[in-house]
Amino acid sequence: MSQRHGPVTAAVITGSMPEMDNDHGPLQHHFDDMAQQNESAALGMWLFLLTEVMFFGGVLTAYAVCRYLFHDAFAEGASHLDVQMGTINTIILIFSSLTMALAVRAAQMSKTKLLVGLLIATMVFGGAFLVIKGIEYEHKWVEHHVPGKYFQYDGPMANQVHLFFSFYFTMTGIHALHMILGIGWMIWLTIRSWRGDFSAAYFSPIEMTGLYWHFVDIVWIFLFPLLYLFGAGAGAGH
Amino acid sequence: MSHDAHAHDEPHIVPLSIYLAIFGALMIGTALTVWVAVFDLGEYSWLHTPLALLIASAKATLVVVWFMHVKYGSRLVWIFIFAGIAWFLVLIGITVGDYVGRNWEPAPNAWQAAVEAPRSSELG
Amino acid sequence: MSEQAAPRRRNRGRYEGDVPREHYLNVAYGLKSWLLTVDHKRIAILYLLSITGFFAIGGLFAAIIRMELMTPTGDLMSSEVYNRVFTLHGVVMVFFFLIPSIPAVFGNFFLPMMIGAKDLAFPRINLASWYIYTIGGIFTLAAIIAGGVDTGWTFYTPYSSTYSNSAVALTAIGVFINGFSSIFTGLNFIVSIHKMRAPGLTWMRLPLFVWAHYAASIIMILGTPVVAIAIFLIAVERLLGVGIFDPALGGDPILYQHLFWFYSHPAVYIMILPSMGVMSEVIACFSRKRIFGYAFIAASSLAIAVVGFLVWGHHMFVSGQSAYVSMVFSVLSMLVAVPSAVKVFNWLATLWRGSISFETPMLYAFGFLGLFTVGGLTGLYLGTLATDVHLHDSYFIVAHFHYIMVGGAVMGYLAAVHFWWPKMTGRMYSEFWGRLSAGLLFIGFNLTFFPQFLLGYMGMPRRYHFYPDEWQVLNVLSTAGASILGIAYLIPIIYLVYSLRYGPIAGPNPWHATGLEWTTASPPPQHNFETTPTVTEEPYDYSKAIENVAITPGAGPESPPSPAAPRS
């Protein structure tokens, strides 16, 4: 044992005595040090986002195929979406991304109050997005554009327009679900931040939530032009 | 890639000005997207979608590189991101390729003849 | 050469020591200590038990299928019931046994030990993955009770979306949920391999088992979400009628096949890659030789993972897919055979002039080598455009994938069970019964599935329970083989359970194997190693004697001191 060299000994000590690192936040027993723990968390989060890319990728692929097959019907369906509300929501989501990024920055600088404020701002923007989304859904319901039993649409391409709305609701629905989960998680983080759990020494959960939130923003950055703006073009027949 | 290299004891704090600049760029990008979508491209109207995707990709890149701190991250994260993009492109590329490719296939003459020929002559 | 001087494993004898006083199994007792554990070893045991349970259910359905097929007429059950039976056999075996089998049990147990870590990077996510697996399993079991599902394990649309009257949505949700367990496992493995390796354990010193799991994890991460969304859309389709795959509503059923096979073809490699990892460990150990072509085996795992993603369309040659795309898929399918062949040749080269001994794990490994080769080569018939038209959806393909799944993945799984059982439990099982059941399995397996190649070649389609009288002989042979196979599965359960109490004490390293997992006590202590090990040499160094070291409690295994190499 005594012959062992520095790093190993250090690993043994920090591994078996996590309380030595208390001022660096909670070090779990199976990690050698905080750096290893934080990097593992970041790597894990990125891998999770990779799965999310493929998850949305699957439905985007389906959308691409159907849009290729039924180009005109999809343009017609898209023309029924509210571009104004879509644009407002895009702007709101970019605001929330900014506040999220600044929240991570606040945590890095150990500014607890600022951190709490920015997290709340992010949730408020996220909530506003969902409210507007809800209003849009409600409009679609009133117009009988919700796919399924109550769908009504006159015209030769009714089936394909139905398909467009199926994609619209599936994609925006999954996206909204991700936002709801994100906001739920952020409520918990806000409480923890208020309690003073996070500082420059330990802010990994805030950073991970930031990654997730920005990813959800990126999904919307693609969904917005693909769904809303497809019917807006002059050549898109409407 | 020693794990001490990015120890969080001294987090890399991005200046506020950069965040605001990225935010501004994203806003301009959004405006650009909407503007391009309603702009009458005449006979080039098929460019709407590629342009929209191009702008969206640029916006996404800004978010990934700056907001998500990939610029200061490890090489491994870059590899993961490129793997994600590559796999997604494989999925969508080959799948859409199948549907596009179906239009190119000439029906073999024998099939065409079989379809056109009356059933009796086929048997006889 | 030193290989000649290496001790034959036969001098094993009885281990003189005792099991360690405290280990991961007796560190805490009670249901709570198991259900809330974050110890990767205990989670592996949880997985072992639940996977064995699902294997039994899937096996039961297989038995019913074979009983029905003894006669050319459907006299045991109606076609509707038969549809449900083969579907549930497929769903349970693929999603609840084969995909989690080796990664969730042996990957969970040994991957952290092989990299010299105390646990996986995210122990709680690891536990969550078992719960998710269980919940997914409960949904599927509920679907069985709710009337079963009759779409085939592939859930092809529009049958699954429009025409089926069975519990498709329930099963689909079960499979969807189960997918996340796979994702969590893969995520945990990749992060652990990158960040948790012991000092000195460079990439080229990793056991090939770890490499294989790394490759399989890539597929879990990148593939599973796609099937998740596809199956999610089916559930939505059935519950809400959105019509994405429904031609009556403008959708496209072939689209589902693309999304499904984008995952489900690579999923075959999720099943076989870990099994190949086991092969590398077992064959090197029982040949007493350094593995031949280490770098090639490691790289071929990654190549299989990557190229495996580019071949999914070979399941769709007769679906109306574009002929051009089919050609590309056909060529790429041929290509993916190359890295698999590289592995097989390297294992054969490892055997060459080795001091081979025929312990139970090695018998399973030999079974794997032969059966996997047959399965792989018949895959080439199916990857060829013209022959596939004839063989598609026939018993030929049933035989082909059972040679891969059972002959490859299950053989590898059983090799792993027998190789690592002493480490997991601290006890040796009966070598006689072990060898006997390995032999029986090989005979029973071939008798079951070889006739199916012939049947398929003659044109017997899969998924029907009526067939012309002249095929009865081959079908009865197949059923006879299946009963031998069934016995060969049951015997290990008996002698393994028996060994838990009455088996001789194994000692830390009964096989004189290399690898970090053998340097610690059997069963291992709660945190795997008394002190974090330092790795100083290449893996599979069988050139020197490896003793079945007695480990006195509290003292670390002896390893020469060395300057610790940087992590990563």
User: Please, are residues C136 and C53 in contact by the beta-carbon 8 Å criterion?
Assistant: no
Range of the domain at A51: 40-236
Q: B-chain residues within 8 Å CB-CB of A53? A: 84-85, 87-88
DSSP letter (8 states) at residue C36: T
CA gap A8, A14 in Å, rounded: 10
Q: Which amino acid is at A134?
A: G
CA C69/CA C478 separation, integer angstroms: 9
C221 touches chain A (CB under 8 A): yes
- Residue B117 — pLDDT band, cuts 50, 70, 90? low
A27 class by beta-carbon count within 10 Å (0-12 exposed, 13-18 middle, 19+ buried): buried
Task: Give the per-residue pLDDT at B104.
Answer: 85
**C212 touches C142 (CB < 8 A):** no
- C567, B2: Cβ pair inside 8 Å? yes
φ, ψ at B7 (rounded to 5°):
-55, 140
Q: Shortest CB distance from B60 goes to which of A101, A218, A234?
A: A218
Instruction: Over range B78-102, report the average pLDDT.
Output: 94
Are B99 and A69 an interchain contact pair (Cβ–Cβ within 8 Å)? yes
Tokens linked to C359:
């312990």
The alpha-carbon gap from A160 to the nearest alpha carbon of chain C, in Å, equals: 5
Pairs across A and C, CB distance < 8 A: 148
pLDDT digits (tens, 9 = 90+) for A114-123: 999 999 999 9
Please, which residues 115-134 of chain C have a Cβ atom closer than 8 Å to chain A?
117-123, 125
**pLDDT tens sequence across C120-150:** 999 999 999 999 999 999 999 999 999 889 9
Please state, for a pLDDT cut of 70, what percent of chain B lies above it: 83
β-partners of residue A199 are A202
Distance (Å, whole) CA C283 – CA C350: 7
Test A43 with B64 for CB contact under 8 angstroms: no
Q: Which chains are within 8 Å of C by 3+ CB pairs?
A: A, B
Residue of B nearest to A221 (CA): B56
In chain B, whose CA is at the least distance from the CA of C194?
A: B76
CATH number, domain of A195, equals: 1.20.120.80
Q: Which of B7, B23, B76 sits opposite A98 (nearest CB)?
A: B23
The first and second tokens of residue A45, run together, are: 């989060």
- pLDDT on residue C422: 95
Higher pLDDT among residues C251 and A217, named by residue: A217
- Band of residue A198 on the pLDDT scale cut at 50, 70, 90: very high
Residues in CB range of C377: below 8 A, 6 or more apart: none
Q: Best residue in B90, B98, B100, B102 to probe C by mutation, most C CBs within 10 Å? A: B98
Domain-located, residue A11: no
Give every residue of chain C whose pLDDT is below 50, as ranges. Answer: 1-11, 552-568
Please check the confidence at residue A90 and state whether its pLDDT lies above 60.
yes
Give B105's contacts in chain C (Cβ within 8 Å): 322-324
Rounded to the nearest angstrom, the minimum Cα separation between B116 and chain C is: 21
DSSP state string for C4-20: HHSPPGGGG----S---
Kindly identify which residue of chain A lies nearest to residue B17, measuring between CA atoms: A102
Where do we find the tokens 């329930």?
C170
C230 contacts chain A (CB < 8 A): yes
> What is the reported pLDDT for B10?
55
CB contact (8 A) between residue B48 and residue A53 = no
Closest CA to C298 of C565, C539, C117: C539
| C563 vs A contacts (CB less than 8 Å) | 5
Torsion of CA C480, C482, C485, C489, to 10 degrees: -130
Q: What is the ipTM of this complex?
A: 0.90
Asked whether residue A10 is domain-assigned, the answer is no
Residue C394 φ then ψ, to 5°: -110, 180
Residue C349, token pair as written in the block: 């080269």
Residue A34 lies in a domain: no
Name the residue type at position C560: P
Nearest-CA distance B114 → chain C (Å): 18
Q: Which residue of C has its CA nearest to B88?
A: C222
Task: Please indicate, yes or no, if residue A6 is contained in any of the structural domains.
Answer: no
Of C486, C476, C483, which Cα lies nearest the Cα of C454?
Answer: C476
Q: What are phi and psi of A72, to 5 degrees?
A: -70, -40
> How many CB pairs lie under 8 A apart between chains B and C?
48
Distance from CA of C263 to the nearest CA of B (A): 10
Residue C380 to residues B3, B50, C57, C191, C262: CA-CA distances in angstroms? 45, 39, 31, 35, 19
The alpha-carbon radius of gyration of chain B (Å, integer) is 26
Query: CA C496 to CA C425: how far, in whole Å?
Result: 10
Which chain B residues are Cβ-neighbours of C325 within 8 angstroms? 94, 97-98, 101
Question: Does A143 reside within a domain?
Answer: yes
Contact call for A35 and B11, based on CB within 8 A: no
Contact assessment for residue C416 and residue C358, using Cβ atoms and an 8 Å cutoff: no
A12, pLDDT greater than 90: no
Lowest mean pLDDT among A157-161, B16-20, C365-369: A157-161
Please name the residues between 523 and 552 in chain C that touch chain A, using a CB distance below 8 Å. Answer: 527, 531-532, 534
Chain C interface includes A54 (CB < 8 A): yes
Tokens representing C234 are 């089916």
Write down all domains in chain C, each with its CATH number in brackets.
21-519 (1.20.210.10)
Distances (CA, A) of C105 to C196, C419, C549: 19, 13, 26
Question: Can you say how many angstroms the Cα of residue C122 is from the centroid of all Cα atoms in its chain?
Answer: 22
Rounded mean pLDDT, A93-119: 95
Does any domain span residue A24?
no
Task: Please name which of C566, C402, C540, C481 lies closest in space to residue C58, comparing C-alpha atoms.
Answer: C402
Query: CA A55, CA A51: separation in Å to the nearest integer?
Result: 6
Q: What percent of chain A has pLDDT over 90?
A: 68
Residue of C206, C23, C96, C102 lying closest to C417 (CA atoms)? C102
- Domain count of the fold of chain A: 1
Residue B107: phi and psi, rounded to 5, are -70, 130
Identify the sign of the CA torsion C232, C234, C237, C242: positive
Could you identify the residue written with the tokens 């080796």? C102
Kindly state whether residue A28 falls inside one of the protein's structural domains. Answer: no
3-state secondary structure of C505: strand
Contacts of C119 in chain A (CB under 8 A): 29-30
Averaged confidence pLDDT in chain A: 86
Q: Considering only CA atoms, which of C511, C3, C521 is closest in space to residue C281? A: C511
